[in-house]
Amino acid sequence: MEPARRAEFVPHGMGDTFAGLLVGPVLLGMALVILFVVPDARVPEANPPMVQRSSLSTAPLRAALTDPPVASLGHRCNECHIIIQPRDGRPEAINYHRNIVLRHGLNNNCYNCHDRENRERLVQHSGATIGYDEQALLCAQCHGRVYRDWTRGAHGKTVGAWNPRDPRYRRFVCTECHDPHAPMLDGIAPLPGPHTLRMGKQTGSAHEGLAEKRNPLFHWSEHGEEAEAHGGETEGGHD
């Protein structure tokens, strides 16, 4: 009977230990190659453009009247108008509120928006009155498409957050940007665009001029009066 062979034992993990000892020197060698051999990547830099601090503000352009509305010196409208007989509503016939300039197209009568009997209410075309906190509904009667875009976030300004459920979310109402008596805004210069230095100087781009070509308001400002004189519309005109 042959004697049983004695089992041979090999130290466990010896190969792993040897490989682990090599990791440090290999990584060190790679770091030295990157540091001393690989040339530095020269990232182009440019001086940042200077802009007015006010153009970076997220505050409203103007303060909208609250409900109930409070006029100058902290007085409510009806404190005076309750003792003043209503006039015909023509702005040139008044000798108060001289700071108001009415430039609102065909909307040239005070009572188109203000209730004749209660000056702390706004009046709709139906004759129903609403508070100043619902003034967007008044604007919507004539500016329906703009109101639709505003409710969907395409028009106007949203600050704080994009999600309406977020408590920081806030969307400006019409009169926080527009003067209700003269709503057209002055031209606003856009902030400088991104400076794509890595792409080099962009000349003769395929996108050059597309903004003007596809902007209906630009077409109207350039050709609108001429098109109206001929009773037609230009290509891309505003319907």
Residue 78 domain flag: yes
- Within-domain flag for 147: no
Q: Is residue 27 part of a domain?
A: no
Average pLDDT score over residue span 79-106: 78
Q: Is the model more confident about 75 or about 226?
A: 75
The highest-confidence range among 32-46, 58-72, 170-184, 209-223, by mean pLDDT, is 170-184
Residue 80 or 14, more confident: 80
What's the pLDDT at 137?
95
124 belongs to a structural domain: yes
Tell me if 114 is assigned to some domain.
yes
> How high is the mean pLDDT of the chain?
78
For residue 233, what pLDDT is reported?
42
Question: Stretch 161-184: mean pLDDT, rounded?
Answer: 93
- pTM score above 0.85: no
21 belongs to a structural domain: no
Contact, 118 vs 127, CB < 8 A? no
Specify the 3-state DSSP secondary structure of 95: coil
Please give the structure tokens belonging to residue 71: 């006029």
CB 169 within 8 A of CB 162: yes
Burial class (CB in 10 A: 0-12, 13-18, 19+), 178: buried
Predicted pLDDT at 24: 83
* Residue 134 domain-assigned (yes or no): yes
Would you state the pLDDT for residue 228? 45
Report the number of distinct structural domains present in the chain: 1
CB 14 within 8 A of CB 21: no
Q: Is the pLDDT of residue 230 over 50?
A: no
* pLDDT higher at 89 or 66: 66
pLDDT tens digits, one per residue of 176-212: 999 999 999 887 778 887 766 655 565 655 556 655 5
Q: Which domain holds residue 106?
A: 59-138+175-184
Examine the pLDDT at 11 and tell me if it is beyond 70: no
Position 130 in a domain: yes
pLDDT of amino acid 15: 56
| pLDDT over threshold 50, residue 106 | yes
Residue spans of alpha helices (H) in 108-175: 135-140, 144-151
d(CA 27, CA 25): 6
Residues 6+ apart with CB under 8 A from 87: 93, 94
Task: Write the pLDDT tens digit of every residue in 135-145.
Answer: 999 999 999 99
